[in-house]
Amino acid sequence: MTEITVAAMQLAFSDDIAENIANVAELVREAAAKGAQVVLPPELFEGHYFCRVEDEGIFARAMPVDRHPAVLAMQTLADELNIHIPTSFFEADGPHHYNSLAMIGPDGAVQGVYRKSHIPDGPGYEEKFYFRPGNTGFRVWKDAPVPLGVGVCWDQWYPETARAMMLMGAEVLFYPTAIGNEPHDPSLDTSRLWRRAMVGHAVSNVVPVVASNRIGTEDGQTFYGHSFIADERGDLLAEFGASETGVLTATLDITHVKRHRAAFGFFRDRRPDLYGRLVQDI
């Protein structure tokens, strides 16, 4: 039997990076004390979700992976606690900028970087101004208790992301996010859709899914939380609502999950010979 204990966290952020790192670190420690081996902070926890507006001054915040304070802080913490911390950060790579994630291992080393593949652009989420589309391809980290797949926020809406990571061997899928209300339509609440999309990935891939989101109001934009951990059936093992601060944990029996996946036959019955339309430009 292969078991892994995972954790999601949920909290509000100021625009002070030191304060945010300290608050995330506190919850990481809480999760580790509960036995978590992989702890997932939300997307871009270094500060407010700055993609609300287009501001060229924000580019000064981007840093390379080996100098970004959020990454460096999580490296120290992962080493101390002997855990994995998938860490989202604003990356500068020469003249290019990415919405990136560093997978930090239990020795504190960065095992690799994933650059967000799908970049949204709309009112309140103007990420194309700041980020190039990722050039790493999807990533799965196998130097962990079980292989881990991580998509970042907008990636979570795409079934192709989840399926690709599964075909690469992932046994648990993680999604750090920063999502809330829609400034162009205050009546539109996407929190149900957001959760259902990821629960759908859990069901159609027979895989546990872990999602972390922020809460709070930042310059008029309210983030709706609803972080959760779902099992391979899509049943919620742990969940938050729209306002709780804290950590969620669950222990997953991966051997049991793999038996369910084989029995469902979704991967046996795939027909990639029919899927050419998926890779054609419209």
Average pLDDT over residues 48-66: 97
Question: What tens digit of pLDDT does each residue of 252-269 get?
Answer: 999 999 999 999 999 999
d(C-alpha 37, C-alpha 31), whole Å: 9
The answer to whether the beta carbons of residues 173 and 141 sit under 8 Å apart is: no
**What is the rounded average pLDDT of the residues 121-139?**
97
Q: What's the pTM?
A: 0.97
Looking at residue 205, its pLDDT comes to: 98
Q: What is the CATH number of domain 3-270?
A: 3.60.110.10
Q: Per-residue confidence at 1, pLDDT binned at 50, 70, 90?
A: low
pLDDT tens sequence across 183-226: 889 889 999 999 999 999 999 999 999 999 999 999 999 999 99
Mean pLDDT value across residues 141-148: 94
Residue 170's pLDDT is what? 98
Number of continuous H segments (helices) and E segments (strands) in the chain: 5, 16
Could you list the active site residues? Answer: 43, 116, 153
Contact 86, 103 (CB under 8 A): yes
For 268, half-sphere exposure in the C-beta direction (CA atoms, 13 angstrom radius) is 6
Domain boundaries defined on the chain:
3-270
